[in-house]
Structure 1
Amino acid sequence: MSRFQTLLAGERHSFGSLAEVMAKATPARSGDALAGVMAESDVERVAAQMVLADLPLKLFLTDLLIPYEIDDVTRLIVDSHDAVAFALVSHMTVGQFRDWLLSDVADAPTLSGLAPGLMPEMVAAVSKLMRNRDLIAVARKIRVVTAFRTTLGLEGRMGSRLQPNHPADDLKGIVASTLDGLSFGVGDAVIGINPATDNIPTAMALLQMLDDLRQSYHIPTQSCVLTHVTNAIEIINRGAPVDVVFQSVAGTQAANEGFGVTLSMLKEAHEAALSLRRGTVGQNVMYFETGQGAALSANAHHGIDQQTLETRAYAVCRTYDPLIVNTVVGFIGPEYLYDGKEIIRAGLEDHFCGKLLGLPMGCDVCYTNHSEADQNDMDVLMTLLAEARAHFLIGVPGADDIMLNYQSLSFHDIAYLRNSLGLKAAPEFEAWLMAMGIVSETGHLGESGAGALRLLEAAQ
């Protein structure tokens, strides 16, 4: 007889493993249906959530979803677990943990101290018992502060990545988009380019251009070309101006191997970037991106639901003390998150789970053109994430990335969120925006547009 069972509406529901309970307790999404692990009905989903709520958190220490012997992410999770920090909640069930997180006892300092004691699977489990408003309420309490040339994650502030991609990596086009974004107060988290041609010469040219631009305008921010980590290591060795090293990561060893990445590579890149000591107010030098469905798309999911695997990816991220972590929540496509409702739920889950694990969690609020989603869905998600105090959000020209061919947020959207919710940019960046006349002393965009004109005049 299964130990994972319950009675619901006069019917007994049994589950064969912890992985099955986790998968069937997850709110419905297309990726889990594709993997064949989703609950067959809402009744079965509620039954799985009832079982999950009664499971002790300690169970996750021994009932590993992926065996220790075959997966280096599992080994990382187990070997880095802080038993002393975990002691605070070690007596709780998953359901009791949910109630505690929503209580006033779980304040910002307490949650910060708890983070090293939480395994990703524990965090994924409790998120499955939460409504969207619960995910927002808890995430909003958590403060994670990181820094390089700007200080991110402070109370009352929300960062932004300026994403000036170009389908031909044209330097003039990228500069034009960058100046456009800066004129809306975007770019305090990072100015980050996805290169259309991912090779070392292209990346070096883009990095040099961004660094020249930054120094010309005395902009207190950091730049990044989102090239593969092995390229970044070589670029550092060649003496290019690397601020922040990027890499996409996933929640299993096999999925990371699909990205051409190992944990030792990430360690080498982290140490190489630290050695440059280019930061002024901090030395958080890594930028990670993740996304639900990455492991399944690589056939490296081990029969585990995609949200739990996404949360395991955060264990990889927090090992290297990143400046920012970004879930590209709707980018992988409708095979994994079918419509706006699924994308909104996943974005709130990812943000909550990352912050609870101690990460500087942001989001690319986005969707592909063949998804059942539109910009109104993104309006909802970006507003909810800003209310939940996301570390940063991404903005692209016109909300349309013409290189990656997907829809994200616009520079105007970042300005809307800050103006409507009373949020400001990072303090160092805000001071520069005020000095340039781009924002007023209240943090609102200047009505005259004088700051934008100064940028354009300087560019000419």
Structure 2
Amino acid sequence: MTFRQTVGRHSHVFRNLADLMAKATPLRSGDQLAGIAATSAEEMVAARMALADQPLRLFLSEPLVPYETDEVTRLILDRHDAAAFAPVSHLTVGGFRDWLLSDAATTERLAALAPGITPEMAAAVSKVMRNQDLVAVARKCRVVTRFRNTIGLPGTMAVRLQPNHPTDDARGIAASIADGLLYGTGDATIGINPASDSLAALSDLLKLLDEIIARFDIPTQGCVLTHVTSSIQLIERGAPVDLVFQSVAGTEAANRSFGIDLAVLKEGLEAGRSLKRGTLGDNVMYFETGQGSALSADAHHGVDQQTLEARAYAVARAYEPLLVNTVVGFIGPEYLYDGKQIIRAGLEDHFCGKLMGLPLGCDVCYTNHAEADQDDMDTLLTLLGAAGVTYIMGVPGADDVMLNYQSTSFHDQLYIRDVLGLKRAPEFEDWLRRQGITGPDGRLTPRAENAPLLAQMTGLAA
């Protein structure tokens, strides 16, 4: 199926729906690398004009990745909720944008609509939206999840405390945890990216997290971000696994490059829930994604990276996760070249995930060889805060010493809370007050009042 659009004196032809979607995408280096990006601003505008006129129903009959050979496509189409989709089924992509921005698109209606929105629909409408549109609509989408606390309530933003260490040193990790807790972070999870994939080392890290959470009765959850199959083995060995982690992508072949398929994700979900460690809920999965992963695995099928990212959210949605985040600038400038591209991608990802009913957070980040800096991250953080982002990262000094990339610091979350009045998960907020870390207004108390907890944490690290 070809598409044609005239702009001025020029007629532009797009050979299929995937080509139309790719050409309509705001410029990014990954699509240029794949040879599918628009070659001029005029061609991009033409593609957006043509895309805006396409009916949403088209995405149900014209899969971008073949149904017969891709289990992610089958997941998307076989699980599509026609009843949920019905209220907007008559709309075009452009009409859907207008409806999303209208007063008719309330938080309640968006929640009911989410199961009926395919990732391709979400990606398509995002391509004809400005940054402010992405913020305005995402802000209306609310997704609440629970394990040992409640994440995603209106007016809140959680933080993953990320205490990574290049050698998995327990003392270094515990010191970073103490630092993060004293800055009021950790309600999303205390999550360690391990340097080792040894089951013994992973088990030790899980036990360290479990001891800290239990000793101080912290209403949060721990996670060691290892492969899902390792988590399953650790659960079988009796390790204290709270959250089961896995990176996911938007095609079967890309997921295969990660060593997973949908069946093993289901096995991980069942294993995690079998432990019944959640006190408030059983959302046990934690997924991370990022634009460009399918292209880097040569598994993109000629589809643009932002649409494939949205397809990864369909994978995540099937397993009722506690947390999902786009590690937006982590893969590097080959996929998102500079701060402008990273900012746009972060807003797109957050919008698409929220529209599809996911608890979408963002690792507001960049690599040191990208044309980006911390000012760009400040801009994205502020925009995501206004958009109602579920959670962000808390990294000591914003500089991850194990993964060697730049993210957001413990101080950054204090800034965005102060500017936008954002609270933490309520159970965690209460715990911080009881510990004397924050006052009744949620702001940090003077350092001296935190000394008892700091002393206990220091003793644990020793």
Report the Cα distance in structure 2 between the residues aligned to 1:159 and 1:326, rounded to whole angstroms: 12
Q: Unaligned regions of 5+ residues in structure 2, if any?
A: none
Asked if 1 retains the 8 angstrom alpha-carbon contact of 2:186 and 2:220, the reply is yes
Q: Unaligned regions of 5+ residues in structure 1, if any?
A: none
Letter in 1 for 2:160: R
Letter in 1 for 2:323: I
Q: Cα offset for 1:3? A: 4.0
Asked if 2 retains the 8 angstrom alpha-carbon contact of 1:29 and 1:336, the reply is yes
Q: Cα offset for 1:451? A: 4.6
Q: Deviations over 1:360-398 (max 9, x none)?
A: 000000000000000000000011111101010001000
* TM-score (norm. length: structure 1): 0.99
Q: Deviations over 1:90-110 (max 9, x none)?
A: 000000000000001000000
Asked if 2 retains the 8 angstrom alpha-carbon contact of 1:183 and 1:451, the reply is no
Partner in structure 1 of residue 403 of structure 2: 404
Letter in 1 for 2:127: K
Asked if 1 retains the 8 angstrom alpha-carbon contact of 2:159 and 2:188, the reply is yes
Q: Cα offset for 1:452? A: 3.1
Partner in structure 2 of residue 197 of structure 1: 196
Partner in structure 1 of residue 451 of structure 2: 453
Q: Cα offset for 1:450? A: 3.6
Residues 1:350 and 2:330 aligned together: no
Residues 1:90 and 2:86 aligned together: no
Partner in structure 2 of residue 311 of structure 1: 310
Asked if 2 retains the 8 angstrom alpha-carbon contact of 1:438 and 1:450, the reply is no
Which residues in structure 2 correspond to 1:56-205 (within 5 Å)?
A: 56-205=55-204
Q: Cα offset for 1:201? A: 1.0
Letter in 1 for 2:440: E
Report the Cα distance in structure 1 between the residues aligned to 2:141 and 2:198, rounded to whole angstroms: 38
Letter in 2 for 1:111: L
Partner in structure 1 of residue 358 of structure 2: 359
Partner in structure 2 of residue 238 of structure 1: 237
Partner in structure 1 of residue 426 of structure 2: 427
Which residues in structure 2 correspond to 1:16-27 (within 5 Å)?
A: 16-27=15-26
Letter in 1 for 2:214: Q
Q: Deviations over 1:118-170 (max 9, x none)?
A: 11000000000000000000000011000100100001110000000000000
Asked if 2 retains the 8 angstrom alpha-carbon contact of 1:199 and 1:227, the reply is no
Partner in structure 2 of residue 229 of structure 1: 228
Distance 1:451 1:122, change over 3 A: farther
Helix, strand or coil: the match of 1:176? helix
Report the Cα distance in structure 2 between the residues aligned to 1:6 and 1:142, rounded to whole angstroms: 33
Residues 1:382 and 2:381 aligned together: yes
Letter in 1 for 2:344: R
Q: Cα offset for 1:7? A: 1.0
Letter in 2 for 1:190: T
Letter in 1 for 2:273: L
Helix, strand or coil: the match of 1:187? coil
Letter in 1 for 2:79: S
Percent of aligned positions that are identical: 65
Letter in 1 for 2:134: L
Segments ≥4 residues shifted beyond 3 Å: none
Report the Cα distance in structure 2 between the residues aligned to 1:436 and 1:71, rounded to whole angstroms: 50
Letter in 1 for 2:210: D
* TM-score (norm. length: structure 2): 0.98
Q: Deviations over 1:33-89 (max 9, x none)?
A: 000000000000000000000000000011110110000000000100000111110
Report the Cα distance in structure 2 between the residues aligned to 1:359 and 1:232, rounded to whole angstroms: 22
Asked if 1 retains the 8 angstrom alpha-carbon contact of 2:143 and 2:152, the reply is yes
Letter in 2 for 1:339: D
Asked if 2 retains the 8 angstrom alpha-carbon contact of 1:437 and 1:450, the reply is no
Q: Cα offset for 1:275? A: 1.0
Report the Cα distance in structure 2 between the residues aligned to 1:457 and 1:95, rounded to whole angstroms: 58
Q: Cα offset for 1:257? A: 0.3
Report the Cα distance in structure 2 between the residues aligned to 1:230 and 1:421, rounded to whole angstroms: 40
Helix, strand or coil: the match of 2:87? coil
Helix, strand or coil: the match of 1:161? strand
Report the Cα distance in structure 2 between the residues aligned to 1:412 and 1:265, rounded to whole angstroms: 38
Letter in 2 for 1:410: S
Letter in 2 for 1:234: Q
Q: Deviations over 1:225-277 (max 9, x none)?
A: 00000000000000111000000000000000000011000000101111111
Q: Cα offset for 1:32? A: 0.3
Asked if 1 retains the 8 angstrom alpha-carbon contact of 2:2 and 2:17, the reply is no
Helix, strand or coil: the match of 1:121? helix
Asked if 1 retains the 8 angstrom alpha-carbon contact of 2:242 and 2:278, the reply is yes
